Chains A and B, each alone.
Chain A
Amino acid sequence: MTDEGADRGAAKPGFRRIAAFGGIYSNHLALEAAVADARKRGVEAMICLGDLGAFGPHPDKVFPILRAHRIPVVKGNYDDSIARGLDDCQCGYTDPRDNHYARLSYRYTFDRTSPENRAFMSTFPDEIRFRLGDLDVLACHGSPRRTNEFLWESTTPTHFLDKLARDAGVDVILGTHTGIHWARAWDATSPGRGAALGAPGVAGSSFRAFVNVGALGRPANDGRTEVWYALLEAEGRALSVDFVPVRYDHEALASEMRAEKLPEEFVETILTGWWTTCLEILPGKERAAGRW
């Protein structure tokens, strides 16, 4: 996939095997590692679902990697805020502690993103559509209807996903924004009770799926230091999704973060795999699975 052709009114590009990266959060070391891993696995294309900045150090470092590998980017809420010079990241925190860390992170990222890269971010589209096998795919940041919509596994009913897919006229939706990867497939003829849950693998004209591709920027609140991306492959209308853990030099990232005087709470997340901030947005089930 290249950043020139995607969804600009031209015929949708088609692929069989792609890698999808979620929130980068300035983690240039993880992005480099993920790109190398995906290339090794023989993907035809890579796509990034937005939120290039936040949390990590040196926000400008991710841009050369994305450009060098011609990876198209869907606009995330962070990208939108930085590009337009808004006051905050549009994450919607209400908790004072969460807001404190969100403000620190946003100010740091905004001040260190070059005007050229800010301008580049303003060109990111809200969505990118393409074909994967015989499936129509829509890649977005939060949801097809709202860039900053959280789609957690435990708060997203299958019939709701089906409505999003119907309204967008696609078979598969890819998103990120929450930072925790998950996937669900279903049969569009019965998207309510008794819907087929679990890993995608069934085919047919009524096959639909949603994939939260995870985030490369920070671990998935699972006590592991790896970060995750999604490898998607389609044969006809049969889709398979593998979530790939990415090992990278997380200790080097932690050192960079400390050198930049980023909050020690952020560094702790990188070193332990447990989220320490911005916890209020987690539903009870996902929050209970973490440490804090």
Chain B
Amino acid sequence: MPKPLPIAESESASHVSGGAAEAPGVGLRALDELWFQVSGTVCNLRCTHCFISCSPDNHSHWFMSRTEVARHLEESIRWGVKEYYFTGGEPFMNREMLAILADTLALGPATVLTNATLLPQRTVHGLARLAQESSYTLELRVSIDGVSAEMNDAIRGEGTFARAVDAVGRLAAAGFLPIVTTMQTWDDARAEEILDTFRSVLRSVGYERPRLKILPPLRIGAEASRDRPYRDVELVDHAMMDGYPDELLLCSTARLVTASGVWACPILLDAPAARLGDTLAEAVGRPAILSEQACYTCWVNGAVCSNLPGLMADAT
């Protein structure tokens, strides 16, 4: 098993009990990933599978300012944060997004999770300039949920397939290798066919070396009614954590900063129990409680939200 990084303020990194339902808990092993809910729950789209039901009128979580983000970036130095992720909502609805990325790329690698429908050419040029000027990588993760307008637009809204694919082509022309992410809505038997079609579509707009990332469905928020909610048995209990390498779970190495507090996980923004404090220092010291059914998906698949999932637990 890997050696946990000692974090003085943290509770034990082993499984701890917590919460009224006594669900298993996971202590933070190291703050490797710092996520920012940089546009709150505000999005220009209204996707039918969104696990936190983001939309133009979902103001339950508001935008973060450059100043707020910069304060957390500064604080992240002492925790030895390895990667910075920006999500929402749609991050490029935040008018300070380029400046926020400039601040971040001075410190470390940045990844933006975007629907790529708000990327005019001047923004693409600005991003390319930031990427060239930093020694750290700037990753753009573009959500496209299907290999055709018919498949994608049924989930993400009319016209979004064409806009996102066009943006991927322009990002590729500017030197990026965007990571195209898609939620799996097909049977495993069709996986190869879907991936091949995806690559063809992306090559048709000049993206010759497509990077694809397939995500499992998170059956909460809008997705619970689009397909199905979790079943009662799809919940993590203590027996399931017995011998399970908890470093596979995102909450063992990450925290999410929002305009209104710090959460255990970017997926659990609607779960009050996942709010671990007002400050990063508080949230680092508290274990995440696996009381939400979305935790089951992470338990099954590992921390797929990271750019490099599936890094197996060190066997030594």
A192 to B177, Cβ gap below 8 A? no
B109 to A154, Cβ gap below 8 A? yes
A156 to B82, Cβ gap below 8 A? yes
Flag whether B250 is at the interface (Cβ < 8 A): no
User: Which of A75, A86, A92, A154 is B136 in contact with, Cβ under 8 Å?
Assistant: A154
A17 CB to closest chain B CB, in angstroms?
28
Flag whether B238 is at the interface (Cβ < 8 A): no
Flag whether B21 is at the interface (Cβ < 8 A): no
Cα distance A164–B3 in the bound complex, in angstroms: 12
| Chain B residue nearest to A197 in the complex (CB) | B135
User: Which of A145, A149, A157 is B107 in contact with, Cβ under 8 Å?
Assistant: A157
B29 CB to closest chain A CB, in angstroms?
9
Cα distance A238–B299 in the bound complex, in angstroms: 47
B314 to A146, Cβ gap below 8 A? yes
Flag whether B175 is at the interface (Cβ < 8 A): yes
| Chain A residue nearest to B311 in the complex (CB) | A92
Flag whether A39 is at the interface (Cβ < 8 A): no
Residues of chain A with a CB closer than 8 A to B77's CB: 159, 191-193
Write out, one digit per residue, whether chain B residues 70-101 have a CB within 8 A of any chain A CB (1) or not (0): 00001011111111000000000000000000
Asked, given contacts A159-B107, A167-B6, A288-B175, whether A283 binds B137 with beta carbons under 8 Å apart, the answer is yes
Asked, given contacts A164-B80, A167-B6, whether A148 binds B209 with beta carbons under 8 Å apart, the answer is no
B301 CB to closest chain A CB, in angstroms?
10
Cα distance A193–B110 in the bound complex, in angstroms: 15
Cα distance A81–B107 in the bound complex, in angstroms: 35
User: Which of A92, A96, A157 is B312 in contact with, Cβ under 8 Å?
Assistant: A92
Cα distance A292–B210 in the bound complex, in angstroms: 10
Flag whether B67 is at the interface (Cβ < 8 A): no
Flag whether A69 is at the interface (Cβ < 8 A): no
Cα distance A29–B6 in the bound complex, in angstroms: 42
User: Which of B76, B137, B309 is A284 in contact with, Cβ under 8 Å?
Assistant: B137
A154 to B137, Cβ gap below 8 A? yes
Contact-size category for A = 35 or more
Cα distance A150–B81 in the bound complex, in angstroms: 15
156-210 of chain B: CB within 8 A of chain A: 175-177, 179, 191-192, 195, 209
174-229 of chain A: CB within 8 A of chain B: 191-193, 197
Flag whether A84 is at the interface (Cβ < 8 A): yes
Asked, given contacts A84-B315, A160-B82, A163-B80, whether A192 binds B3 with beta carbons under 8 Å apart, the answer is no
Residues of chain A with a CB closer than 8 A to B138's CB: 284
B298 CB to closest chain A CB, in angstroms?
15
Residues of chain B with a CB closer than 8 A to A94's CB: 309-310
Residues of chain A with a CB closer than 8 A to B233's CB: none
B311 to A155, Cβ gap below 8 A? no
Flag whether B2 is at the interface (Cβ < 8 A): yes
B108 to A160, Cβ gap below 8 A? yes
Flag whether B139 is at the interface (Cβ < 8 A): yes
Flag whether A162 is at the interface (Cβ < 8 A): yes
Flag whether A80 is at the interface (Cβ < 8 A): yes
Residues of chain A with a CB closer than 8 A to B316's CB: 75, 80, 126, 147
| Chain A residue nearest to B79 in the complex (CB) | A163
A86 CB to closest chain B CB, in angstroms?
7
Write out, one digit per residue, whether chain B residues 1-25 have a CB within 8 A of any chain A CB (1) or not (0): 0110110000000000000000000
A176 CB to closest chain B CB, in angstroms?
15
A154 CB to closest chain B CB, in angstroms?
4
Residues of chain A with a CB closer than 8 A to B74's CB: 192-193
Residues of chain A with a CB closer than 8 A to B136's CB: 154-155, 157, 285
Cα distance A90–B78 in the bound complex, in angstroms: 30
Flag whether B129 is at the interface (Cβ < 8 A): no
Flag whether A281 is at the interface (Cβ < 8 A): yes
Asked, given contacts A283-B137, A284-B177, whether A157 binds B82 with beta carbons under 8 Å apart, the answer is yes
| Chain A residue nearest to B314 in the complex (CB) | A146
A157 to B108, Cβ gap below 8 A? yes
Residues of chain B with a CB closer than 8 A to A86's CB: 315
Flag whether A153 is at the interface (Cβ < 8 A): yes
Flag whether B239 is at the interface (Cβ < 8 A): no
Residues of chain A with a CB closer than 8 A to B314's CB: 77, 90, 146-149
Flag whether A280 is at the interface (Cβ < 8 A): yes
Flag whether A287 is at the interface (Cβ < 8 A): yes
Write out, one digit per residue, whether chain B residues 221-246 have a CB within 8 A of any chain A CB (1) or not (0): 00000000000000000000000000
B-side residues, CB < 8 A to A, are: 2-3, 5-6, 30, 32, 74, 76-83, 106-109, 131, 135-139, 175-177, 179, 191-192, 195, 209, 211, 307-312, 314-316
A-side residues, CB < 8 A to B, are: 75, 77, 80-81, 84, 86, 90, 92-94, 96, 126, 145-150, 152-157, 159-160, 162-164, 167, 191-193, 197, 280-281, 283-288, 292
Name 21 A/B residue pairs within 8 A (Cβ), A-sorted.
Answer: A77-B314, A81-B315, A84-B315, A93-B310, A94-B309, A94-B310, A126-B316, A145-B30, A147-B316, A154-B109, A156-B82, A157-B109, A159-B107, A163-B80, A164-B80, A193-B106, A193-B107, A283-B139, A284-B176, A285-B137, A288-B176
Starting from the known contacts A80-B315, A285-B137, 14 additional A-B residue pairs (CB-CB under 8 Å) come to A75-B316, A96-B191, A96-B192, A126-B316, A148-B314, A149-B314, A150-B308, A154-B136, A155-B83, A159-B108, A191-B77, A192-B107, A283-B109, A285-B131
Nearest 7 A/B pairs, CB to CB: A163-B80, A157-B108, A192-B77, A154-B137, A285-B137, A92-B311, A283-B137
